[in-house]
Structure 1
Amino acid sequence: MTEIRKLLVANRGEIAARVMRSARALDIATVAVYSDADTGAPFVADADEAVRLPGSSPADTYLRADLIIDAARRTGADAVHPGYGFLSENGGFARACAAAGLIFVGPPPEAIEAMGSKIAAKELMAAAGVPVLPGITIDADAEFDPAALGARTAEEIGYPVLVKAAFGGGGRGMRVVRGPDELLDAVEGARREAASAFGDGTVFLERFVDSPRHVEVQIFGDTHGTVVHLFERECSIQRRYQKIIEEAPSPVVDEALRRELGDAAVAAGKAIGYVGAGTVEFVLGADGRFHFLEVNTRLQVEHPVTELITGLDLVRLQLLVAEGNPLPDEVLAAAVHGHAVEVRLYAEDTAAGFLPASGTVHRFAVPPLDGVRVDAGVADGSVVGVHYDPMLAKVIAYGPNRDEACRLLAKALAGTRVHGLATNRELLAGILREPEFRAGLIDTGYLSRHDPVELATGSRDPRAVPVHALAAALAGQATRRAEAPVLRTLPSGWRNVANGPQQVVFAVDGAEVPVTYRVRESAVDATVGGVALPEVLVHHASADLVELDVDGIRRQVRVHPVGSTSYVDSALGSTELTELPRFPDPGARSAPGSLLAPMPGTVVRITVEAGAKVSAGTPVVVLEAMKMEHSVLAPHDGIVGDLGVSVGQAVDVGTVLAVVEEQEA
């Protein structure tokens, strides 16, 4: 056995921070590597040492095995942990580490390579007796006849089918095809995304099981030939084929099914000589039959739910196994205790179709509650760019049963403050409180049956905007008076003779909300949006805290001003308000019908020409951001009057991509 003294973590964000936490507990020194885009990231400061990875593209630096191995050599690291993502499932990287005399904290290269191709993996699993779905492979550069492929698909698989990237995961490249007329566009789109995300455009088609459950089994193996399973996780709540809520155990799996799933997962692990932590993923139909999806030859994002129900530290176990130790007795005797639920907090705009968001995190705070764990990759001041996955943090709750774990997690999310960019926080809280989810009646089609926007906004209190807008106005007044050079104790706008009220106009969710107020000692006469607020009393008003009564109900409202924007939080929820200038620049408006870039990205396709007639909803420009494609659609029927961008051009949020002039009836 070889003891690890110094560990380099070849990953970033919450992944790197999570691995380093367990390494420190084992008295293992840590080394971080970082791109230029991550210079100020929290995980860099968490490490004992950090090495910059040079490169012109921040997205590619973490994929440079030569730079990572050189960093390990320069710092004297004796082991490399690949985290999850990037090079974690790259057999060539595992071999390069071994050739450099480094311990690779993961499975053998042969196991990674056996599962690196989903196509070869299915063949191997079928031979091991694991149930699989029928499929067809299309090589990256292969030419094909769409009609012939459509006919073959109908005969060998049957519609609907799922088009998937052969190498990689995370939902990249996935397309559901309902009929032969959709097949060509789906295959070509999946090829582009797969090539961009994984460097290989090979895709394959397999039978699509409508709205199954996505259930996966955690396996663990050691170098002494032992492979065990650590029970299942339910990962059915997904958007764009990417998981956003996971839990353990699955609410639908009984002991008999748990044994069947566990036996199949262990058989899969033994078939490839598995060592370390891995996950065998299955689709589970309503009839109780399950089929193999893939083996992830790494630790999974959702591993904390398994840790909480078993009491095991999976990263610690990875390190012990990498040193040559057999799996300890607590792993062999593991049992399920209680229930754990995890949500992935993403920087994304739910209402805009889950478009990823970028910007500065001005504040990130999850309330400290017993039973709640936070694995975060950001802190106050962190910058979320366009180069990486937009996940900010994982918030996990543990309880004696599923209902209490869901309640606790919903409470934690309700009190979470994330300022500076759009997130899916309200959607996650809405799902956790929705009756069908709470009853365990979930599958991968959950978000097609439940409108994500309604889930995110359904619990919003209509009193939030009026109360928060007034609080933001009063906090602004308090700030101005505190900064006044004379007579600071007088309210702003004070006159010996009563004059008109003070007024400020905020933008809230795209609408203008005017606020008027006149302070009379502790009482305030106020209107919001033209509606008078009844019986307003102010107990305290400062730049960051306003305590007031509105209609006899007393509340504390926290205000976080950043420039012209105020982020406001109270028991009513959270509101972002941007103060509008009193005299806006008349030239600042875009032309009517302008299609603006919803995020920073690169133009990969322009689907129409100037002068073309388009109908509402027609894709006009396709952007690539965060390794995924996003179509910008025509807002109405009209004629494309101007195309302001070209293929390959990098654009910022708000860039005018095209103008669609509305046709007169």
Structure 2
Amino acid sequence: MIKKILIANRGDIAVRIIRTCKEMGIQTVAIYSEADRECVHRYLADESICIGPNNISKSYNNIDNIIYLALKLNCDAIHPGFGFLSENAEFAGRCEENNIILIGPTKEQMILMGDKSRARQTMIDLNVPVVLGSKEVLKSKEEALSLANEIGYPVMIKASNGGGGKGMRIINSPDEVFSSYELASAEALAAFSNSDLYMEKYIENPRHIEVQVFGDKFSNAIHLGGRDCSMQRRNQKVIEESLSDYLSDEEKNNLYNTALSIVKGVGYIGAGTIEFIVDSSKNFYFIEMNTRIQVEHPVTEMITGIDLIKLQISIADNKPIPFRQEEVVFRGHAIECRINAEDASKDFKPSPGEITSLNIPGGFGVRFDTFVYTGYTIPPLYDSMIGKLICWGENREECINRMNRALDEIIISGVETNVEFQKSLINSNAFINDTHYTKFIENNFIKALSIV
């Protein structure tokens, strides 16, 4: 039985995990870098300890130190959250070697689904639709040029071990291939310590819709509905919502059943997200599986009433999923706006610094997941996201209205934020009419606002 968990993360997800652990009667250990000495998660945990200096590789990505501390402090398990080591197969293997439960999938499943080119081939074997592209990792820029000419432009090259928009380039013509290949390869190496790339036909103006899934050690598999993550900037999500109103009920069910076939086909254990792109004809294609909890998991919690972190921990603790698929009830609509410390008028430049005043919105159907407080200094070292504003409504229209109200209530002084930018986004005709797509912000919205 899991009695003590080390949280190998920081920020809002660390706070989120601690809250659920407290409710489950599980003790927590928070780690923090020297830059995060005043981060609130270390004060909420039962124990906290500095893991290392500001350098990420020597702190939150320091596998040796994290394993050492987990053993020294008698932790039964480690929760990696998202980012950092959450999809690191080596870390998963080290946990297994030291009899520490990793709250996530096995090392083998991480390797299978974490390698995008290998996952793609697995989907083909499972008869899951995939976008036309390379069957394996690209061996050279010359091979990339040959394949791009064969597939037809535009194409997209992606980091095989990537995510978050890093190591990704859209190529519109042959003369862009070599430079894009070199840039994507270098970026992938820097971000993921792996320069491998693969290629896909680029679907123009797609929607990005993902399915939250869980599998357990008793061969049970469930889905908790879909999330529409089509509002993106530079391949990173900005607004997420659940359920997707873009698809009909029949189309949603086809998507959900496909996602479940993947979970069952690979024997997946734990929380996962199957990501698809959907074209203008409502055809969907597998793009990747994230083998961790997602930033946007709260919108799923809001419409299902299910604590996804609790379910993660329960599955890791050798318990079966405690309900059947037919018992999952979807109620209403939920939207999440990512609140970042950044200046939209200066090409979204990060805005670290001290928060001099803070008002967190509240009221019925409003949730704000954050780790900041008045007097907290945002360090210039990590992702600029400082909170997630999540609103629920009986329907999409009511949810948008509630989000407008909640955004009006946010006060964050001392640093620049994207709150006004988010207000403009959710009130854009494209979002209200549900006609936006993954490149809407770059291609339409920013140009219309003339803010950068």
The TM-score by the shorter chain falls in which range? over 0.9
* Alignment correspondent of 2:119: 121
Which of 207, 219, 241 aligns to 1:213? It is 207
Q: 1:416 to 1:396 in 2, by over 3 A?
A: same
* Alignment correspondent of 1:358: 352
* Alignment correspondent of 1:244: 238
* Alignment correspondent of 1:106: 104
1:183 aligned to 2:181? Answer: no
Matches of 1:247 and 1:375 in 2, distance apart? 16
How far does the alpha carbon of each residue in 1:414-446 deviate from its partner, in whole angstroms, 9 at most, with x for none?
Answer: 221111222211111111112221111121122
Question: Which segment drifts farther, 23-32 or 188-197?
Answer: 188-197
Deviation, structure 1 residue 139:
6.0
Q: Where does 1:281-296 land on structure 2 (aligned, <5 Å)?
A: 281-296=275-290
- TM-score normalised by L of structure 2: 0.96
Which of 73, 77, 80 aligns to 2:78? It is 80
Tell whether the 8 Å contact from 1:407 to 1:432 is kept in structure 2 after alignment.
Answer: no
Unaligned runs of 5+ in 1: 458-508, 510-665
Deviation, structure 1 residue 48:
0.8
Letter in 1 for 2:129: P
Runs of 4+ in 1 over 3 A off after TM superposition: 136-140, 142-145, 453-457
Which of 89, 92, 103 aligns to 1:91? It is 89
Which of 173, 191, 198 aligns to 2:192? It is 198
Q: Where does 1:155-554 land on structure 2 (aligned, <5 Å)?
A: 155=150, 157-329=151-323, 333-452=327-446
Matches of 1:309 and 1:18 in 2, distance apart? 18
Deviation, structure 1 residue 228:
1.2
Matches of 2:247 and 2:140 in 1, distance apart? 43
1:154 aligned to 2:152? Answer: no
How far does the alpha carbon of each residue in 1:215-264 deviate from its partner, in whole angstroms, 9 at most, with x for none?
Answer: 00000111100111111100000001000100000011221111110111
Matches of 2:329 and 2:304 in 1, distance apart? 6
Matches of 1:287 and 1:360 in 2, distance apart? 48
Q: Secondary structure at the match of 1:11?
A: coil
Matches of 2:79 and 2:94 in 1, distance apart? 13
Tell whether the 8 Å contact from 1:229 to 1:262 is kept in structure 2 after alignment.
Answer: yes
Matches of 2:22 and 2:105 in 1, distance apart? 22
Tell whether the 8 Å contact from 1:407 to 1:433 is kept in structure 2 after alignment.
Answer: no
Deviation, structure 1 residue 138:
8.6
Tell whether the 8 Å contact from 2:360 to 2:411 is kept in structure 1 after alignment.
Answer: yes
Deviation, structure 1 residue 10:
0.7
Deviation, structure 1 residue 127:
0.3
Q: 1:337 to 1:177 in 2, by over 3 A?
A: same
Higher helix proportion (structure 1 or 2): 2
How far does the alpha carbon of each residue in 1:633-659 deviate from its partner, in whole angstroms, 9 at most, with x for none?
Answer: xxxxxxxxxxxxxxxxxxxxxxxxxxx
Letter in 1 for 2:351: A
Tell whether the 8 Å contact from 2:302 to 2:334 is kept in structure 1 after alignment.
Answer: yes
Larger Rg: 1
Deviation, structure 1 residue 453:
7.0
* Alignment correspondent of 1:136: 134
Deviation, structure 1 residue 271:
2.0
Letter in 1 for 2:383: D
Matches of 1:359 and 1:163 in 2, distance apart? 36
Q: 1:144 to 1:400 in 2, by over 3 A?
A: closer
Letter in 1 for 2:236: Q
Letter in 1 for 2:70: A
Matches of 2:227 and 2:310 in 1, distance apart? 20
Matches of 1:214 and 1:120 in 2, distance apart? 21
Q: 1:52 to 1:446 in 2, by over 3 A?
A: same
Matches of 1:60 and 1:357 in 2, distance apart? 24
Which structure ranks higher in relative contact order (CA pairs < 8 Å, sequence separation ≥ 6)? 2
* Alignment correspondent of 2:39: 41
Tell whether the 8 Å contact from 2:304 to 2:331 is kept in structure 1 after alignment.
Answer: yes
Q: 1:424 to 1:377 in 2, by over 3 A?
A: same
Q: Secondary structure at the match of 1:121?
A: helix
How far does the alpha carbon of each residue in 1:523-573 deviate from its partner, in whole angstroms, 9 at most, with x for none?
Answer: xxxxxxxxxxxxxxxxxxxxxxxxxxxxxxxxxxxxxxxxxxxxxxxxxxx
Matches of 1:213 and 1:56 in 2, distance apart? 37
Matches of 1:376 and 1:200 in 2, distance apart? 31
Matches of 1:98 and 1:163 in 2, distance apart? 33
Letter in 1 for 2:149: A
Q: Secondary structure at the match of 2:400?
A: helix
Tell whether the 8 Å contact from 1:228 to 1:332 is kept in structure 2 after alignment.
Answer: no
How far does the alpha carbon of each residue in 1:478-531 deviate from its partner, in whole angstroms, 9 at most, with x for none?
Answer: xxxxxxxxxxxxxxxxxxxxxxxxxxxxxxx9xxxxxxxxxxxxxxxxxxxxxx
Deviation, structure 1 residue 312:
0.5
State the number of aligned residues.
452
Q: Secondary structure at the match of 2:163?
A: coil
How far does the alpha carbon of each residue in 1:309-359 deviate from its partner, in whole angstroms, 9 at most, with x for none?
Answer: 111000011111111111112665102110000011112221222222222
Q: Secondary structure at the match of 1:167?
A: coil
Higher strand proportion (structure 1 or 2): 1
Tell whether the 8 Å contact from 1:43 to 1:377 is kept in structure 2 after alignment.
Answer: yes
Deviation, structure 1 residue 371:
0.8
* Alignment correspondent of 1:15: 13
How far does the alpha carbon of each residue in 1:356-398 deviate from its partner, in whole angstroms, 9 at most, with x for none?
Answer: 2222222232222211101102222222223211101000000
Unaligned runs of 5+ in 2: none
Matches of 1:154 and 1:263 in 2, distance apart? 34
Deviation, structure 1 residue 456:
9.2
- Sequence identity, in percent? 38
Matches of 2:325 and 2:2 in 1, distance apart? 21
Tell whether the 8 Å contact from 1:137 to 1:203 is kept in structure 2 after alignment.
Answer: no
Q: 1:456 to 1:370 in 2, by over 3 A?
A: farther
- TM-score normalised by L of structure 1: 0.66
Tell whether the 8 Å contact from 1:366 to 1:413 is kept in structure 2 after alignment.
Answer: no
Q: Secondary structure at the match of 2:272?
A: strand
